[in-house]
Chain A
Amino acid sequence: MTNGWVDIKNTDMMLIMGGNPAENHPCGFKWAIEAKRNRNAQMISVDPRFTRTSAVADQFCQIRAGTDIAFLGGLINYAIENNRIAHEYLVNFTNAAFVVKGDFQLPADTDGVFSGFNAEKHTYDRSTWNYAGSGGKPVPNPTGMSTGQNHGTPPPLPPLPENVDYDLTLQNPNCVFQLLKKHYSRYTPELIERITGISKEKFLKAADTFTSVRKDGDLKKVATIIYAVGWTHHSFGTQIIRTAAMLQLLLGNVGRAGGGVNALRGHSNIQGATDMAGLYDTLPGYLKVPTPADADFDAWMKRVTPTSSKPQPWQSFNYYSNTSKFVVSFMKALYGDAATKQNGWAFDYLPKVDRDYSWTHLWDDMYHGNVKGMLSFGMNGVAIGPDSNKNIDALKKAEWLVVGEIYPDETSEFWKSPKVIADGDMKQIQTTVYRLPCAGFAEKDGSFTNSARWLLWKNAAVPLAGDARLDHGIVAQIFLKVRALYQKEGGKFPDPILNLTWGYSDKMNPPLAEVLKEMNGKALADLEDPTSKQQIKAGQQLPGFAWLKDDGTTSCGIWIYSGAFTEAGNQTARRDPSDPSNMGVHPNWGWSWPANRRVLYNRASCDLNGKPWDASRAQVWWNADAKKWVGNDVPDFKADSPPTDHMGPFIMNPEGIGRIFAPLAAFADGPFPEFYEPIESPIDNLLHPAVSKNPVVTKFKDADDKFGTPAQGYNVVCTTFRLTEHYHYWTKNNPMNVQLVPEPFIEMAAEMADEMGIRGGEHVKITSARGNYIAKAMVTKRIKSMLIDGKKTYQIGIPFHWGYRGISEDEGRTSKKLVNQLTHTATDPNAHTPEFKGFLVKVEKV
């Protein structure tokens, strides 16, 4: 989230799309209700199904799953056409005025792709996706790793120009604003109706309502956009979120209380997992991993440290210019004295990531026998899918599998799946499975990082049950055994294992408070701040990441968490609910990254002179007497930079501004989001039938990786979803949850059921090109038929909570199927998230 849960209460307008917070985040949804109750805020719900969120929304649009970019692009078009844009914000705080290179081409110019497309390799040469201007240092290969399965390394890119050409009148035909206008002028209400199934009238009403925050020509009102995995689960998920971000920049809603683009995370700590390098291509704190192309530490730093790029008279803080401080401190946390300037801070110890190792690739590697074993904690990999059959087939080939769980699950008993039973090959499976009893969340302490980036410490509520062990204790003990083996036997390259710091008071079960202290970081030598003369003694906890150094005198496990556990103690355990500003800041409740800042980019909540756009929601402001930024929140800005400097509020971008146009290597599939159809879709792309799908998405080509088409009879759009009453694949083991919703079901339109002669409660079989799923029909008015390009089309939804282990399953009340036996393995090219939503199926009465 750019903002936070409590902050939603400050909003005037909510677009909830790609998410169903009333059902999946009922506690956080309180704040959406508060906004309605206390501010008369409006709520628009856009979803393939009329959900419990839609039930309390003021408007509902039923959208065909996977057509979100068409809808959002239409909103951008509507806002521009009707002059409902935040002009002053747009010109000064975004790159709307930046001029793009003359050889850049939009999909409208090329019939479906941006300039630089290589159809053979399914990649872009992104060198034309750049600003016009002068200066700047050449950047080597932007990632150094290949972008797909069979692709070579992409060509090196030109630099961002140091001095960007710009036109504050926004009239230059090649300025970002004009390109944006041209690009989305194609997204007309008529076209949106044909693509999304949302009638022109409904779309226009929603567009009018949402952009009405700018109808008075000022920036007082604020709108928020709230989303969840309904946006990420697509082969263009990242670009959906991009479109939302651009819309919010256009309307001047980013950095503002009650505004922003807000991702609702699906686990209590999934934000924490992402922060701690949940993805293969980051190190903790979103630092970019080294690749084989990085010859040494300096080459790596040169590649990943941006230099500022902006209109000459403006300033850019370019905070990532500090990257080497974060990285060296991280290496010191990992390797202590073994990381020295001489050995490039132990650069050689780090694995060099040469290609895509994301989720589907891991399973594919196991499927092909390249991955021999798996440690599986806190997840149910078979049920997660996608294409669970492929995951089951992969596990059959593994030598070993370790599952740490509190319940027997589909992964630890993959050999009990109906598929294995049907294939009759249980006896051939040689995989050794170890199931370890792990602690539940209430049995261990530690912190949760919530969607709002707030870290909240919790204590263990109950002792470990039975023979259960702490997950991290299990991992620690495996590590200690491996290290002992390396000590004894040497091995190929023992240094990264032998030199890892392990200074915990209980080496077998590292206390999590000590781990958090390590993440926060400490001084390794006496330090002094040159301006304030504040001193920190060697060994003391650091107050925050501003103290980090790249000379080896600081260590820090994850720079964005620096400040969480200081000399003042564990900040995440703070429980002072007071909120002096009454804006939901609660500055002493837990601790949020970065620097206990609640709303990111909050300098953008003020005009050019540093005065809040809306005085009634003052977050931060420029105090001319004190010559610094102050406020109710922690300013997300260079504290002493006066407004006259014209420093951009988006300090993490080298331009200092919000990117409406995302240059160069930012995204694999385009500097502007373009609407592409899902990998399986009922129609060809109406914008450009020849390039129907996201052109850089590649597919696996194994026996289990099948894809269906309408011509083969797969003509119903299917989406997956979650219920309030259940939590992932977990609560099917809990009688209370099972009583609330006892069995799996399939939601379908009453009209469709009538046509097929299906009554509620009767069994329905759903078949995709990958597999089938059988459950009872939930016949409802909450899904309607749609006219997609004039053709009647149906959409169904399946909650994903069931499988072959659980109370109902064990009682024989279900067909023991997994929803993800239906889904396919194509993923988003940026975030690598599979397309769990918006695939094609057949529906039959059983």
Chain B
Amino acid sequence: MSQETMRVQKISAHSGTVPGEGTQREYTVSKLIDTTTCIGCKACEVACMEWNDLPFGETVFDNTYQTMPETRWNYWNLILFNEHEKDDGSLMWLMRKNQCMHCADPGCLAACPSDGAIIQYANGIVDFQQEKCIGCGYCITGCPFNIPKFNPETKRVYKCTLCADRVGEGLEPACIKACPTGCLHFGSKEDMKDLAEKRATQLRTHYNFPNAGVYDPAGVGGTGVMYILHDATQPELYGGLPKDPHIPLAVRLWKGPVKWLGNLAMVGGIIGLFIHYLRFGPKDKEDEQIREEILVAQEKEVKAREENRPAVRAKVNEEGGEPSKGEHL
């Protein structure tokens, strides 16, 4: 990957043209995760923490091998463990490395109201620029994969950068480098798609996975992180991977109002009011309905996750008391 691929291609809430827009794009990068050869060893989790210098957090036993219930502002790469009993009674222990999917059409970026807080490089990496983040949390709503997480101390949002700093220097992301089985691959999107299809074909032909396939959902324009799944018809089994993810309609609509309100703000000089309105103001009816839909969908997802959990979910540690604040973030 040359520096050229790190050229900025999209900018959140930016009114002007993107510098360098229209020049020829080299290629997008892509991470391919083969869940059929993932052994859940968590080397990727550790590599992510080490490369990105993320601080340790406290965890509690939760009746699972999964390190924590979901990604945190300081834990960007999390393998989700799910036990699934097939109709024939045989067991599958599904392990899916969860992190930012680096959507071609990123919901977080679409939702972000702060100029330049979220950018997409020409190579497809979606990157948060925390110094421009205003902590509004819209990106969290905009993400169909529940990835960006808010740090209450810095009041900013964080997520996987696909190791943009490494990729820019021609290196693979840290998780890829650490993977011992080679279930993680990195390369151009085209190459990865090709590899993924070949592996899926092998799984359908030589192994007992007639529904093996590739997860690269069109609803978000395809993703910079693709999965090979044993059963591509049931992505929800893998810790609630959405079957057909879309940018929430609300976020799409905000594009209009944002621009319109932005103009109004310039004219009236009431930027503060605008921010306040967006965050806490009276709720647009249509907006309200869409939010509801999102909540229902999220609830469904949580429920699905619950159901996939082994038997019963653990109570929170009794001896150790309630988990630290960071636990829920």
Which of B61, B83, B90, B207 has most chain A Cβ within 10 Å?
Answer: B61
B41 touches A724 (CB 8 A): yes
Cβ of A732 within 8 Å of any chain B Cβ, yes or no, is no
Cβ of B199 within 8 Å of any chain A Cβ, yes or no, is yes
CA distance A229 to B62 in the complex (A): 28
Contacts A33-B183, A779-B311, A780-B83: A52 and B93 contacting too (C-beta < 8 A)? yes
A residues less than 8 Å from B313 (CB atoms): 760-761
B229 to chain A, nearest CB (A): 14
A778 touches B41 (CB 8 A): no
A residues less than 8 Å from B61 (CB atoms): 742-743, 745, 761, 776, 778
Contacts A40-B206, A56-B36, A60-B91: A739 and B182 contacting too (C-beta < 8 A)? no
A residues less than 8 Å from B199 (CB atoms): 37
B residues less than 8 Å from A759 (CB atoms): 311-312, 314-315
B54 to chain A, nearest CB (A): 10
B311 to chain A, nearest CB (A): 4
B residues less than 8 Å from A481 (CB atoms): none
CA distance A446 to B58 in the complex (A): 36
Cβ of A690 within 8 Å of any chain B Cβ, yes or no, is no
Which of B91, B199, B207 has most chain A Cβ within 10 Å?
Answer: B91
Chain B residue at smallest Cβ distance from A32: B181
B93 touches A50 (CB 8 A): yes
Cβ contacts A771-805/B at 8 Å (1 or 0 each): 00000111111100000000000000000000000
A725 touches B311 (CB 8 A): no
A55 touches B92 (CB 8 A): yes
Cβ of A462 within 8 Å of any chain B Cβ, yes or no, is no
A779 touches B41 (CB 8 A): no
Contacts A27-B180, A40-B206: A781 and B311 contacting too (C-beta < 8 A)? yes
Contacts A54-B93, A754-B311, A779-B310: A739 and B57 contacting too (C-beta < 8 A)? yes
B residues less than 8 Å from A55 (CB atoms): 39-40, 92-95
CA distance A457 to B201 in the complex (A): 42
From B16-24, B43-51, B168-176, B219-227, give the one contacting chain A.
B43-51
Cβ contacts B79-102/A at 8 Å (1 or 0 each): 000010100001111110000000
B residues less than 8 Å from A60 (CB atoms): 90-91
CA distance A715 to B150 in the complex (A): 50
Chain B residue at smallest Cβ distance from A808: B320
Interface residues on A, range: 35 or more
B319 touches A812 (CB 8 A): yes
CA distance A203 to B183 in the complex (A): 30
A residues less than 8 Å from B67 (CB atoms): 739-741
B297 to chain A, nearest CB (A): 27
CA distance A56 to B206 in the complex (A): 14
CA distance A741 to B61 in the complex (A): 7
Cβ of A485 within 8 Å of any chain B Cβ, yes or no, is no
Cβ of A22 within 8 Å of any chain B Cβ, yes or no, is yes
A762 touches B315 (CB 8 A): yes
Cβ contacts B22-40/A at 8 Å (1 or 0 each): 0000000000000011111
Interface residues of B in 175-193 (CB under 8 A from A): 180-183
CA distance A760 to B60 in the complex (A): 12
Cβ of B260 within 8 Å of any chain A Cβ, yes or no, is no
B62 touches A761 (CB 8 A): yes
B83 touches A782 (CB 8 A): yes
B63 touches A40 (CB 8 A): no
Contacts A40-B206, A761-B63: A26 and B41 contacting too (C-beta < 8 A)? yes
CA distance A735 to B49 in the complex (A): 12
A761 touches B319 (CB 8 A): no
CA distance A29 to B183 in the complex (A): 12
B residues less than 8 Å from A54 (CB atoms): 93
B182 touches A782 (CB 8 A): no
Cβ contacts A738-757/B at 8 Å (1 or 0 each): 01111101000010011000
Cβ of A736 within 8 Å of any chain B Cβ, yes or no, is yes
CA distance A52 to B313 in the complex (A): 20
Cβ of B65 within 8 Å of any chain A Cβ, yes or no, is yes
Cross-chain contact of A30 among B63, B83, B180, B310 (Cβ < 8 A): B180
B180 touches A29 (CB 8 A): yes
Cβ of A813 within 8 Å of any chain B Cβ, yes or no, is yes
CA distance A725 to B202 in the complex (A): 31
Cross-chain contact of B56 among A23, A27, A739, A778 (Cβ < 8 A): A739
Contacts A30-B180, A736-B46, A761-B62: A52 and B314 contacting too (C-beta < 8 A)? no
Cβ of B324 within 8 Å of any chain A Cβ, yes or no, is no
A23 touches B39 (CB 8 A): yes
Cβ contacts A4-45/B at 8 Å (1 or 0 each): 000000000000000000110011011001101100100000
Chain B residue at smallest Cβ distance from A778: B63
Contacts A23-B39, A60-B91: A736 and B49 contacting too (C-beta < 8 A)? yes
A780 touches B311 (CB 8 A): yes
B residues less than 8 Å from A754 (CB atoms): 311
A26 touches B181 (CB 8 A): yes
Cross-chain contact of B37 among A27, A33, A761, A762 (Cβ < 8 A): A33
Cβ of A719 within 8 Å of any chain B Cβ, yes or no, is no
CA distance A450 to B65 in the complex (A): 28
Cβ of B59 within 8 Å of any chain A Cβ, yes or no, is yes
CA distance A813 to B319 in the complex (A): 6
Interface residues of B in 250-276 (CB under 8 A from A): none
B200 to chain A, nearest CB (A): 12
A26 touches B314 (CB 8 A): no
A450 to chain B, nearest CB (A): 15
CA distance A777 to B312 in the complex (A): 11
Cβ of B10 within 8 Å of any chain A Cβ, yes or no, is no
CA distance A735 to B60 in the complex (A): 13
Cβ of B42 within 8 Å of any chain A Cβ, yes or no, is yes
B56 touches A735 (CB 8 A): yes
A residues less than 8 Å from B83 (CB atoms): 780-782
A605 to chain B, nearest CB (A): 25
CA distance A236 to B145 in the complex (A): 51
Cβ of B208 within 8 Å of any chain A Cβ, yes or no, is yes
A residues less than 8 Å from B85 (CB atoms): 781
A494 to chain B, nearest CB (A): 52
A residues less than 8 Å from B39 (CB atoms): 22-23, 26, 29, 52-53, 55-56, 724
A residues less than 8 Å from B312 (CB atoms): 753, 759-760, 779
CA distance A812 to B319 in the complex (A): 8
Cβ of B289 within 8 Å of any chain A Cβ, yes or no, is no
CA distance A780 to B93 in the complex (A): 11
Chain A residue at smallest Cβ distance from B92: A55
Chain A residue at smallest Cβ distance from B208: A58
CA distance A762 to B311 in the complex (A): 13
Cβ of B317 within 8 Å of any chain A Cβ, yes or no, is yes
Chain A residue at smallest Cβ distance from B46: A736
CA distance A196 to B21 in the complex (A): 67
Cβ of A702 within 8 Å of any chain B Cβ, yes or no, is no
Cβ of A811 within 8 Å of any chain B Cβ, yes or no, is yes
Interface residues of B in 273-329 (CB under 8 A from A): 310-317, 319-320
CA distance A792 to B61 in the complex (A): 29
A780 touches B310 (CB 8 A): yes
Chain A residue at smallest Cβ distance from B315: A761
A112 to chain B, nearest CB (A): 36
B310 touches A760 (CB 8 A): yes
Chain A residue at smallest Cβ distance from B41: A26
B residues less than 8 Å from A50 (CB atoms): 91, 93
A residues less than 8 Å from B59 (CB atoms): 739-740, 742
13 further contact pairs, Cβ within 8 A, besides A55-B95, A739-B57, A759-B314: A29-B39, A30-B181, A55-B39, A56-B37, A724-B39, A739-B56, A740-B42, A742-B59, A743-B317, A760-B311, A762-B314, A778-B63, A781-B85
Can you list 11 pairs linking A and B with CB atoms under 8 Å apart? A27-B180, A55-B39, A58-B208, A724-B39, A725-B42, A740-B67, A743-B317, A760-B311, A761-B316, A776-B61, A782-B310
- Going nearest first, the 7 A-B pairs with the smallest beta carbon separation are A761-B314, A760-B63, A750-B311, A22-B39, A55-B93, A779-B311, A26-B41
Binding site for B on A (CB under 8 A): 22-23, 26-27, 29-30, 33-34, 36-37, 40, 50, 52-56, 58, 60, 724-725, 735-736, 739-743, 745, 750, 753-754, 759-762, 776-782, 811-813
